[in-house]
Each structure stands twice: as C-alpha cells, then as structure tokens.
C-alpha cells in the first residue's frame, strides 16, 4: 500500500531538473517525460520512480510468464523494460550477435518512491514503510541546485557496419524481398564507443533538449543506463482498451517554414513511406487480434503526419478491446517485438535480421514503461536512444530503416544517418 500526497508545482522545468538530480543517489531510477507534447492518450506529463523495494531480472527464457506472475502478485506500480531478445521466449529464435552492453533481457522493479505530474499538480506516492522520509526528501529536493558539475565526455564513436557493407546488406535484404521471403524489414546498424566516459544525466538532458519527444526516458539500473528520446509509443492499456501507435515514415525538418512544409507534404504523399506504414499497420492489427474481443480491432488513424524537433514522422493508431480471458502481460507477449521494429512477416524477418545485422539488439528496439496497480500499462519503443554500461565503459546507439521492394539502399543509409544525427550531436 502507498501513502499519497499532493503538491502544486509552478515552475515545472526547474522542479523536474531538481528532482532528476536528487534521484541520482538511488540505484534504480526511471524518469519518463512527455515534454508537454499533447498526446491524446497521455495520463501524465511526467513520472519519476526510484529505489527498488522488489525487482525481477531475467534472461529471455520464460520471461513473459515470470513477468506475469510478478505483476499479478505485486499489484503495484512496476517500472522496467522488455529487450528485443525476448522474441526468443515467444518464438523458436536465437540472438547470437555481438553484445557489448550485457544488459539483462528483462528487468522490472517496484519503486519505494513515486512522483506523478499532470499540469501543475504533483502526486507523490510512497510505500507505507518509508512515508516518514517524505518531509526530509521534499526539503532535499527543493534545496537542490538546478545545475550540476559537468564532466567532459570522452567518446570515440565507431560504426559497426561500414557504409559499403550496409549497402551490400541492404541489397541482400532486397534479394530476400524479391524472392518473396518477406515484404518489409527494419534493418539496423550500431554506432558504438569503447572506453567511453560520459555523465549520463548530462547527456540525457542534452538529448532531450534538442528532441523534446513525447516518450523520453532516463533509465538507470545501477551501472546500466538508457538515455532515450523516443517519439514512439509501443503499446498502452487503459481498462480493456489497447492502443498501438507504430511509426513508419521519416522526413527531414528544415528551418525555412516553406521548405519544412514541403518536406512534410512530400512525406504524406510518398508512396514508399505509406506502403511501409500500411504494411506495419496490418501486422499490428493481426497481432492485436490474438488477444482482442471479436470485431474490436480498429484503425483509428492511418498515416497521420506528426512533427518533432528533429524529424517529421508518419504514425498510425490501432486500438482493440482486450478479451477478458487474456491478461495485461498477454497483450504485450502477443505483440512483441513491435512490428515497426521488425517488419513482415514477423518471424521470417527476425531470422533474416539476425543473419544480416552484426549486433545483438538488446534493449534497443525493445520497450520501457510501467504497470499501474490496476494492471494498466504504457510502453515506448526504444529508438533514438543511447545505451551505456558504466562498468565496462561501453556506449552504443543503433538506428534503422525499413527496407521494402521500393527501397534504394543509398537512401536508406542516409535515413539512418538522419536518425543518428541527434545522438552524434550530444556526444561531441
């Protein structure tokens, strides 16, 4: 059980910064920020959860069943992530590529201390046994300076797949498509740095500032960090309603308003980008139907165009009603990994991805989110993100694009570089 307190916050940005700095003393931290992006399905503007009371950490084997039991037993707020390699739990698949990060496949925890913000109203929920710490915590938070000592980053970024190799691999993917083995595949490549030394909070704040996405996350599990500027929702459950919002289709932003509007319109009318989006929308409809009440799967928006600071994106929204015989974790298991990060048909694509990519995806193209005590949840897609293992000083970020029969490998490579731009910028 939790004790709940309410406070009014006038200067949101200053308070968020203080709270983030205060949170760094804890071993487990999850900060999720919508950056005031007016999302139709958002419950909170931002959330902070710190300090695990209980937790679950596992590899992919039986992972969804373990998570289901943990979630149903705790009936509390839980925060954590699903890595891409949980695909090996649901299908006869393997992940044998190089992994420099070494994160667990699944990690969730029950936080002792929780902060939930909507507008100027802040709700604080502490587990009963530590609610006597709130007054001292509150004083400490308010006394935090909103600045902190910056450290110079030492990062020498390398590319796992060279430009030449990328073009060869993308062409091979096209061969698979022309043979009829698949229709679309999200092909990704890693940028990485060994012996990297960064201040994770500083890098996260910079990345968030230049992107301001609706699904930003700062996640810390001891020495393992995710610094995410994700624009994409994977899956949300509210009551018996399930919402998926896959992104497929990307275009540049321009400082000149006319040029920017032209880029946006070209994306909206681009046959290749629309085909990509519609294929994944169909895949998501099929995934949702496995746990849905009959006839409840609906496409509520097809190929909508949304503008973010770095790029324009094409987003569709698909909803369903969860059949009472299925649990919250079932809804995740039957749709994971998200179609926007695999392609279609899903299992064939995941096998070919494993063959052509050179890095184990891990948390990249997985999901970070939370469960509520009522069994609702909200998860993002881990893209536009930096992963960092502070213990072995390994830093990684990956980018990808969808290969279809209409793809030109050189254009796909340029799209990858466009998506990597923000990460390069903050690691200079």
Cross-strand partners of 181: none
Give first-to-last CA distance, the chain, whole Å. Answer: 45
Q: Which CATH superfamily is domain 2-426 in?
A: Anthranilate synthase (3.60.120.10)
- What pTM does this model have? 0.96
Give catalytic residue positions. 232, 248
The burial of 48, by beta-carbon neighbours within 10 Å (0-12 exposed, 13-18 middle, 19 or more buried), is given as buried
The helix or strand, by DSSP H or E, that contains position 25, with its residue range, turns out to be: none
Please list, residue by residue across 183-211, b when 16 or more beta carbons sit within 10 angstroms of its beta carbon and e when fewer do: bbbbbbbbbbbeebebebbbbbbbbbeeb
CA distances, 324 to each of 70, 239, 243 (Å): 19, 11, 16
Map out the domains of the chain as residue ranges. Answer: 2-426
Q: Which stretches in the chain have pLDDT values below 50?
A: none
pLDDT digits (tens, 9 = 90+) for 330-388: 999 999 999 999 999 999 999 999 999 999 999 999 999 999 999 999 999 999 999 99
What does the alpha-carbon distance between residue 201 and residue 226 come to, in Å, rounded to a whole number? 10
In the prediction, which pLDDT does 152 show?
Answer: 66
Please state whether the peptide bond connecting residue 337 to the residue before it is cis, i.e. omega within 30 degrees of 0: yes
Dihedral, CA of residue 180, residue 182, residue 184 and residue 189, to nearest 10 = -120
């Amino acid at each position: 059980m939790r004790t709940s307190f309410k406070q009014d916050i006038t200067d949101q940005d200053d308070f968020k910064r203080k709270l983030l700095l205060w949170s760094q003393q804890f071993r487990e931290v999850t900060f999720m920020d919508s950056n005031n992006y007016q999302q139709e399905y958002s419950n909170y503007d931002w959330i902070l959860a710190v300090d695990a009371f209980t937790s679950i950490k596992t590899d992919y084997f039986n992972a969804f069943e373990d998570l289901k039991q943990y979630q149903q037993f705790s009936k509390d707020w839980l925060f954590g992530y699903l890595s891409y390699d949980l695909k090996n739990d649901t299908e006869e698949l393997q992940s044998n590529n190089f992994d420099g990060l070494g994160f667990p496949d699944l990690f969730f925890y029950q936080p002792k201390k929780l902060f939930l913000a909507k507008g100027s109203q802040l709700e604080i929920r502490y587990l009963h046994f530590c609610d006597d710490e709130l007054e001292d915590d509150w004083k400490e938070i308010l006394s935090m300076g909103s600045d902190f000592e910056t450290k110079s980053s030492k990062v020498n970024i390398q590319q796992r797949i060279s430009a030449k190799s990328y073009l060869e691999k993308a062409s091979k993917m096209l061969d698979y498509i022309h043979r009829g083995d698949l229709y679309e595949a999200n092909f990704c490549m890693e940028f990485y740095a060994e012996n990297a030394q960064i201040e994770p909070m500083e890098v996260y704040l910079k990345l968030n500032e230049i992107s301001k996405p609706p699904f930003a996350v700062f996640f810390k599990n001891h020495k393992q960090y995710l610094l995410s500027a994700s624009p994409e929702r994977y899956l949300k459950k509210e009551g018996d309603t399930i919402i998926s919002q896959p992104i497929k289709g990307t275009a540049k932003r321009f400082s000149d308003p006319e040029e920017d509007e032209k880029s946006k319109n070209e994306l909206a009318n681009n046959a290749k980008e629309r085909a990509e989006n519609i294929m994944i929308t169909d895949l998501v409809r099929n995934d949702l139907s496995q746990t849905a009440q009959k006839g409840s799967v609906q496409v509520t928006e097809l190929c909508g165009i949304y503008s973010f600071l770095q790029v324009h994106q094409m987003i569709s929204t698909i909803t369903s009603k969860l059949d009472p015989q299925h649990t919250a974790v079932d809804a995740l298991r039957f749709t994971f990994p998200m179609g926007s990060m695999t392609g279609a048909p899903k299992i064939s694509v995941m096998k070919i991805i494993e063959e052509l990519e050179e890095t184990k995806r891990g948390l990249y193209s997985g999901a970070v989110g939370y469960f509520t005590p009522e069994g609702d949840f909200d998860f993002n897609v881990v893209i536009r993100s930096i992963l960092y293992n502070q213990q072995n000083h390994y830093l990684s970020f990956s980018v990808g694009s969808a290969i279809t029969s209409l793809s030109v490998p050189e254009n796909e490579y340029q799209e990858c570089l466009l998506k990597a731009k923000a990460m390069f910028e903050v690691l200079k």
